[in-house]
Amino acid sequence: MIKGGSVIFDGKEISSLKFNQLRNYKGKEIAYIFQDPMTSLNPTIRIGNQITEGILAHTKVSRKEANQRRLSCLRNAGIPNPEKRLDQYPHELSGGMRQRVMIAIAIAMDPKLLIADEPTTALDVTIQSQILGILKEINQKFGMAIILITHDMGIVANMAQRVIVMYGGKIVETGGVLDIFESAHHPYTRSLLASVPRLDADSNEPLEYILGSPPDMIEPPAGCPFAPRCRFSMSICYHQMPERTDCGLGHTLYCHLMDERAAEQRRRFISEYSDAQL
């Protein structure tokens, strides 16, 4: 249930559409890659049939044409020997291969938008790099927009053009990827960046970590959701969500530190997170 706001896709408001109307967008216009392919793929259905199912549901092509398209999708998803994979079940594939199958299913309808939710979770570094390379290739080859949901700042640096940093269901900072990495203004964003290991850092110095626990989203806080874990929080942070601040060049921020009355606290924040530390 949507309590407020709107979802604009391709210039159209879609959050108020009925189920049958919204079904025209799912898979066909907007596709989703789930975090865990093992629980997202049907373990009792062969890989080829799982891809064909979506194609037949959203188009009027024949089964023969659908079968040809599914082979092309598997190849575009970087799956070797796709003819063999069609008759296999998910449990017969490795984690990386199952994630490639999820990508193949997602791109089968040539959607305009691909949403990838932690697509490299539980994969080793080499396979992660391969999956991200496939997503980049799909983006460039088909002009498909990608929303990548991740907590890995290394992936953000490698993949993103524009970044939206969220905490507790709220947007806290947005901007171009270079702007975010070079001049992040929110304490949460800075903490995320400071916690990433660096080759030029002193190995004897401990990595930064964020104290405390995430907020209870059953009863979300009235103010900034990061306030209880923020070393620079003030009384107002617990009671009132900060207004949006435009930092220029598409960089926006939601933080009470930007208020002129918080000048002293902001100076302490800037002093602690100097550019030399990030």
CATH superfamily to which 8-160 belongs: P-loop containing nucleotide triphosphate hydrolases (3.40.50.300)
Contact, 59 vs 70, CB < 8 A?
no
The token pair at 52 is 């064909």
pLDDT, residue 274, reads 65
pLDDT, residue 60, reads 85
pLDDT, residue 276, reads 40
- Going from N- to C-terminal start, the domains of the chain cover 8-160, 179-277
Phi, psi torsion values for 203, nearest 5 degrees: -65, -15
Kindly give, in sequence order, each residue whose CB lies less than 8 Å from that of residue 208, ignoring residues fewer than 6 positions away.
191, 194, 195
Contact, 63 vs 48, CB < 8 A?
no
Kindly give, in sequence order, each residue whose CB lies less than 8 Å from that of residue 69, ignoring residues fewer than 6 positions away.
55, 61, 108
pLDDT, residue 251, reads 95
pLDDT, residue 241, reads 95
pLDDT, residue 58, reads 85
Query: In the chain, which residues have pLDDT < 70?
Result: 1-2, 274-278
Tens digits of residue pLDDT in 236-276? 999 999 999 999 889 999 999 999 999 999 999 988 876 54
Report the distance separating Cα 67 and Cα 14, nearest Å.
Answer: 31
Spatial CA neighbour of 70 closest among 49, 99, 41, 91: 49
